A and B are shown apart, each in its own frame.
Chain A
Amino acid sequence: MPHDILTLYSSKALEYGIAISFLVLFIPFWRFVMKPAPAPAAARVAERPRVPVAEAVEWFQFARDVGFHPGHAWARFGQGALATVGMDDFARQLVGSQASLELPPPGTTLVQGEPAWSLRNGDRQVAMLSPVDGVVTEVNPAVGSTVGSLGGDPFGTGWLMQVEVRRPAANERTLLSGDAARAWLQTTTDALRMRIAPDMGLVMQDGGTLVDGLARAIDEDNWDAVAREFLRS
């Protein structure tokens, strides 16, 4: 290409053109990349969690309308692909109200049986396993950073997140519900009783309530190992 004045001007013009088109295109590109995707339509008309039927297995609340994962997470399936996910009363009491709760942000992909969120106390942390496969669409805004913020209603207002479930029917079939769940929770409670029996100071003799943070009470130094044993993580 000859390098006369005109050629030089035309190639400079092209370079300016490229620079300006970069700046102009960069704005929409940046906005496209940085803005998170709108929640799926199903999530926006999400069915709010219902207040569970009050029922208990010994010291722990129990709900009939949810599916339990053996790691003490639960899922309530609504219409369509959306499910509400939470941790059960057993897990809540096991780690205690002062434990901090680290939930995955919306957009996170969960896999059933894989760690989904974690509970931290001091420098130790324990994961809880996801009861479903799917993508988190919403995290309960009412739940703060500690387990105590779940309040006394882990199956109702204390739900943790809404998940768009990839295979709702298949996931639901693998969870325990109804009488089977009740029997499982009873067995787990018996196992817990075996762990705390040597130290009767933990339980009131007249069948009263448990201390806050059972795992810590069982073994102060290795509470995370105790919790992991029951939460299967």
Chain B
Amino acid sequence: MRSPAATTALRPFITDKLFLGLSLRDYLRSLATPGSLTAIGILAIGIPVIIYRFVYGLGAATNLTQANPWGIWIGIDVLSGVALAAGGYTLATTVYIFGMRDYHSVVRPALLTGFLGYFFVVVGLLVDLGRPWNLPVPMLFSFGTTSVMFEVAWCVALYTLVLFLEFSPALFEWLGLEKWRERAMKLLLPATILGVILSTLHQSSLGALFLMVPTKLHPLWYSPFIPIFFFISSIIAGLSMVIVESNLAHKYFPSRIEPGHAGDLDRITLGLSRAASVVLFAYFFLKLQGLADAGAWHLIGTAYGAWYLVEMLGFVLAPCLLFAWAARTSNPTLARWTAALTVAGIVVNRLNVSVIAMNWNAPEVYVPSVMEIITTLTIITMGILVYRFIVNRMPILRLLPQYPDTH
């Protein structure tokens, strides 16, 4: 039984911090929105599906086979998830290392998106791997130091921790833990530097995984440069995701936005589009270089070639020019739509490499099962719900007055 003092200390914590100052009944009522109900519906179906996968195994829940061992859980949840979470290291570097403090107001949302992105990448990976109790084996007891997988596993684990450290000042401010916050703030710069190193390593290593399958991956997508492609496109994904995410946050959490920041956001959006257009420009030429190196021009005329052109022209060159045009004409609305197109393009690229152009000449074709799709939707929904929970409570979009100079 709790002492009366503990109960009185706990109650304000629960009502103020968790229920946003509402009573339990009012708080639950405030959750009864179409969005929340949809999310609850997805979780109600998805969580039993995930349990089913752990109980009965991959064979029962998925269409994965020995020939097609990687499906959309890897293509979307892991590969796209890691790329789209790159906003954390991109923006943290911009602000804390390059000192471009104009972008400070989007660092915390970017770090939060990054942290949640990686956290749910790990969740997705665990669903794919199964047997979570075996996880310490490759991490601690049986190093496969010659394997790219080993490097990816350690990098992702360490970087998730680094992202938590970078995000933790907001958590400690919310909990009112002054001393902890000070310590976390001191770690911010070293954590950012470590974050860039780890991201450079594993963003490219995820591409390097595909160096092992030169015959399985279609020649238009296979290239010895694929680690570089993955790394460069992660910068594009990060920048675009920050634009998309910050604009959605302004739209759906208006009460959490610092007053006077509407104009600020347009300026930041245009600055990020400028950067994204330049990186996309370089990426487009790098991809051309990959194509020339592979000598795969003759495959452009095939069905896969047409799909390759859709990716290159529709999701790389078009966003590059649209971002440039948006920056040039100061059109933040165009920049936002272009960012959404680019984010879609990154998912298309990762799916192409890991699923669509993989085993292109094999007789067996992989199509994800309904349970795989439900699981992916469930993981994304959990990510959005946790994001909403945090943004509504912690100083992410808006600073607390007692910590004005936080970022």
Contacts and interface: CB of A to CB of B under 8 A. Distances in A.
Interface residues of A, number: 41
Interface string B316-358: 0000000010011110100000000000000000000000000
Contact of B292 (A18, A35, A115): A18
B278 A30 contact: yes
A34 B274 contact: yes
Nearest to A35: B328
Contact of A110 (B259, B263, B278, B328): B263
A115 B259 contact: yes
A127 B259 contact: yes
B282 interface: yes
Contacts of A22: 282, 285
Contacts of A104: 263-264, 267
Interface residues of B, number: 31
Interface in B277-298: 277-278, 281-282, 285, 288-289, 292-293, 295, 298
Interface stretch (A48-56, A117-125, A145-153, A174-182): A117-125
Interface string B367-407: 00000000000000000000000000000000001001100
A115 B332 contact: no
A122 B274 CA distance: 33
A9 interface: no
Interface string A34-65: 11110000000000000000000000000000
Given A34-B274, A115-B263, A26 B281 contact: yes
B47 interface: no
Contacts of B270: 107
Interface in A5-49: 7, 11, 14-15, 18-19, 21-22, 26, 29-30, 32-37
Nearest to A105: B267
Residue from A37, A108, A136 having most chain B Cβ neighbours under 10 A? A108
Residue from B259, B278, B295, B328 having most chain A Cβ neighbours under 10 A? B259
B262 interface: yes
Contacts of A125: 258-260
Given A109-B332, A116-B263, A18 B288 contact: yes
Residue from B260, B282, B298 having most chain A Cβ neighbours under 10 A? B260
Given A110-B263, A115-B261, A117-B263, 4 more contacts: A11-B295, A18-B285, A33-B324, A104-B263
B245 interface: no
Interface of B: 258-264, 266-267, 270, 274, 277-278, 281-282, 285, 288-289, 292-293, 295, 298, 324, 327-330, 332, 401, 404-405
A109 B281 CA distance: 27
A228 B259 CA distance: 10
10 contacts: A11-B292, A15-B289, A18-B285, A19-B289, A21-B285, A22-B285, A37-B328, A107-B270, A115-B263, A116-B260
A208 to B, nearest CB: 33
Contacts of B282: 22, 26
Contacts of B261: 115
Contacts of B329: 37
A135 interface: yes
Contacts of B277: 33
A160 interface: no
A124 to B, nearest CB: 7
A28 to B, nearest CB: 11
A36 B330 contact: yes
A29 B288 contact: no
B259 A233 contact: yes
Interface in A115-171: 115-118, 123-128, 135-136
Interface in A87-122: 102, 104-105, 107-111, 114-118
A1 interface: yes
A127 B278 contact: no
B328 A29 contact: no
A33 B267 contact: no
A192 to B, nearest CB: 21
A110 B401 CA distance: 26
Contacts of A11: 292-293, 295
